[in-house]
Amino acid sequence: MDRLQYVTVALSLVLALVLTQVDCSTGLKRVTKAQVRGFDWKNCGKPDDPAVLKTLTVSPDPISIPGNLAASASGSTSVEMAAPLSLNVTLEKEVAGFWVTVPCLEEIGSCHYKDGCDLLNQLIPPGQDCPEPLHTYGLPCHCPFKAGAYSLPQSDFYLPYMDLPYWLTNGNYRVQGVLGSQGKELGCLKIALSLHSD
């Protein structure tokens, strides 16, 4: 899976990192039922950025958590992406009509990750098969990612229960992820959504 598909799955994994994952045992709230509404995305990089997400579709709207999700994506990168791949995440929440940057707290929020390849290795240990449906479609899940075009046909995923920090439950959010290497920007993706939980 290309880095821009990892900008998809990293920014949907940034979303997964931002909204679900991460080892953080303090101040978490168990979400038994939630909905993600108004999911939207766009590239935010420079015209000559090598990594570009071309398509990303997610359904249904609203997305129920726990529940099923259908997603497809395609993109390309004109350069090989190898470690270290820096990932700068900016998370904003709408508060009283203003967008407020959420600070980096216990690796959740607006954080700088020195190497996205390390994050991938933590999520999927090296030597372990890539999870479905990546394995079925021959999409890689570890660095390096070769230059080329990548696509994930429409696939079904199950979104499980999740633990969220108490400050990250209900509201409108914007997430921006900028992928870089050796001081150069490789790609940028913005995601917007509304989260409503019990």
In tens, the pLDDT along 54-112 reads: 999 999 999 998 999 999 999 999 999 999 999 999 999 999 999 999 999 888 889 99
d(C-alpha 137, C-alpha 39), whole Å: 25
The predicted model scores a pTM of 0.82
Say if residue 23 is exposed, middle or buried (CB neighbours under 10 Å; 0-12, 13-18, 19+): exposed
**How confident is the prediction for the chain on average, in pLDDT?**
83
Query: Which two tokens mark 191?
Result: 């995601």
| pLDDT: which is higher, 172 or 132 | 172
Q: What confidence tier does 168 reach under pLDDT thresholds 50, 70, 90? A: confident
Whether pLDDT at 7 is above 50: no
Half-sphere exposure of 18 (CA within 13 A, CB side): 32
d(C-alpha 176, C-alpha 96), whole Å: 21
Find out whether 46 and 23 touch, Cβ atoms under 8 Å: no
The sign one gets for the Cα dihedral 80, 89, 128, 70 is negative
Domains within the chain, CATH numbers bracketed: 3-197 (2.70.220.10)
**What are the respective helix, strand and coil percentages of the chain, to the nearest 5?**
15, 50, 35
Antiparallel, parallel or unpaired: β 67-77 and 51-59: antiparallel
